[in-house]
Amino acid sequence: MKQEIVRYERLGEEYVRVEHPSGLTMLLYPMKGFSTSFAMFSTKYGSIDTCFKTDKDADFLQVPAGIAHYLEHKMFESEDGDAFERYARTGASANAFTSFDKTCYLFACSDHFQDSMEILLDFVTDPYFTKETVEKEQGIIAQEIGMYDDDPGWRVMFNLLESMYQNNTVKVDIAGTVESIAQIDAPLLYRCYNTFYNLHNMVLTVAGNFEVQQVLDAADKILKKAEPVQIERKVEEEPAAVVRKRFVQNLPVAVPMFYIGFKSPNAGEKQNMLNMTMDEMLIDIVTGETTELYRSLYNDGLINDGLAGETMAGRDYLCSMISGESKDPDAVYERVCQAFEQVKANGIEDEIFARVKKATYGRYLGLFSKPESVASAMTNCHFAGIDVYDLVELVANCTKEQLEQRLREDFSSENSTLSIVMA
């Protein structure tokens, strides 16, 4: 078993990285003074992984949209009962989620940590699917899909992704469609499980109040050695251009909701993650609450609750989104695009750069104040091929010139689009 301590002198922080004999990488971050622990057992497998093969397969397999999410639902069941019932006996709070590029199983606890850890490692590595239980789940997930189809906040975002991406499966709802999940059966679930739930494709991140040895003991007890697997994911070439510049869906809302999207060039998984950090800073510089854009939109009555900005990065996609409510979303979209072009032409003001850099640095330092934030950040960074401290270092060393260069490469009005939900 290989163990190393990863230290970050700038913050005086450290964690333990373990390469377990089973093939699982473990990133363990004990935090003194905390009363709770948070653990996340994750696989690099999400909704975008719909066409794949391993080194043992002759051809690619195309699977129905939503199968990663479906598999997550089924993993909690076993011949001996439900994993939630087992957690109830330890007092842990457990959950799971599927995103575009990963599936995560997690728990938080303040007591009985090792027992909860054994439950987590056990049920995620012991699938149990039958024809009857799989068919039963179809109705449950179909109801969930229907619920999201009627959710204005969900639809305005996915309509944006559908407007931006021509081929990339990031445009498809994580849960799939009622039609796609009807094609899922137990053998297909086992095929996806055996491909992606290989321990070499997974990571265990733990943070908070625990002892490293507790995790090692649980892993030694539960995990079996996995054969290394090479997974090849088939990715369609994605053009730079968006599908459409504007899309409107009518749903019952009091005030029109909007999402403005800027489609970024794909630079590969690792660089996309680093570019995401810079793009988040640029959104704040151009659209933040202290900007001229924000003041003018507010004073003209074009926004009420403000603007929310976020950047989404993954294996082969990167985009930035600015959202809010407005009686005239088209006017907001026009002004946002103009504001980005203006900063490109005039450069970033020194005072604004210094303030945003300081705020971003503080936000990233804040990740280390909560066990769940630490574990989540370590998972995201590990799958992107970087260390969690790399993000802090990027912000600490970022220059105005770097951001101006990034701005010239990105936030193109030509590759932007507007999604609106209105009554």
The residues annotated as belonging to the active site are 72
347 sits in the region (left: phi over 0; alpha: psi -120 to 50; else beta) called left
Cβ pair 38, 108 in contact under 8 A: yes
Give, in degrees to the nearest 5, the angle at Cα 270 between 173 and 6: 120
| Rounded CA separation 42/102 (Å) | 7
- Report the SS3 class of residue 176: coil
Cβ pair 359, 423 in contact under 8 A: no
Cβ pair 309, 356 in contact under 8 A: no
- Report the SS3 class of residue 322: strand
Strand 416-422 with 246-250, pairing: parallel
| Rounded CA separation 404/345 (Å) | 10
Beta bridge partners of residue 98, listed in sequence order: 103
- At a CB cut-off of 8 Å and minimum separation 6, what does 406 contact? 275, 278, 279, 282
Q: Beta-carbon neighbour count of residue 138 at 10 Å?
A: 16
Amino acid at 263: K
Amino acid at 381: C
Torsion of CA 96, 99, 103, 104, to 10 degrees: -40
| Rounded CA separation 123/104 (Å) | 13
| Rounded CA separation 312/320 (Å) | 6
Cβ pair 362, 310 in contact under 8 A: no
Cβ pair 355, 287 in contact under 8 A: no
Residue 179: which H helix or E strand, with range? helix 178-181
**In whole angstroms, how far apart are CA 399 and each of 177, 354, 410?**
44, 9, 17
